[in-house]
Amino acid sequence: MILDKLENSGKYEHLHPLFKQAFDYLKSIDFSKAEPTKTELKGKDLFVMVSDSDLRAADNAKPEAHKKYIDIQLPISRPETFGWKARQDLTHPIGNFDEERDIQFFDDKTETQITVLPGNFLIFFPEDGHAPCIGEGQVRKVVVKIKI
């Protein structure tokens, strides 16, 4: 997992061939004025989802993990708290892994909580179990999905 300011994203562009394109796009749009939508920048290899998501109590936030995608997540309208736990330590899966959506949910508690301010981002790799959307109210957020 990586947490940093969007202005420092250049430090991470070498980690994946599509990171530069993803970060350039994130810096070029005023997402506070964008409609909730999904935009494919490079087909299924790189796409961006803008959503207005309801926040929930930490006890109700189920960790999730992915196999084929890296997430870059940015809160836009307000701070958003995320839970984190190493994927290898998530031991209580809920149902089966959803291959089509590349997601597995877990009934584990996260070990760490991180509050991310607008203008900052988190990168979650497949080894990072994460529970987004913790807090009160609603958040406008952006999730970038990058195929490994």
Domains belonging to the chain, first-starting first, are: 2-147 (2.60.120.370)
* Digit-coded pLDDT (tens) for 30-59: 999 999 999 999 999 999 999 999 999 999
Q: What is the mean pLDDT of residues 53-76?
A: 98
Token couple for 44: 């299924």
Question: Does residue 85 contact residue 111 with C-beta atoms inside 8 Å?
Answer: yes
Pairing of strands 2-5, 120-124: antiparallel
* Digit-coded pLDDT (tens) for 101-138: 999 999 999 999 999 999 999 999 999 999 999 999 99
**0.85 surpassed by pTM:** yes
Write 33-37 long-range contacts (CB < 8 A, 24+).
none
Tell which residue, 79, 87, 75, 59, has the closest CA to residue 1: 87
- pLDDT for res 141: 99
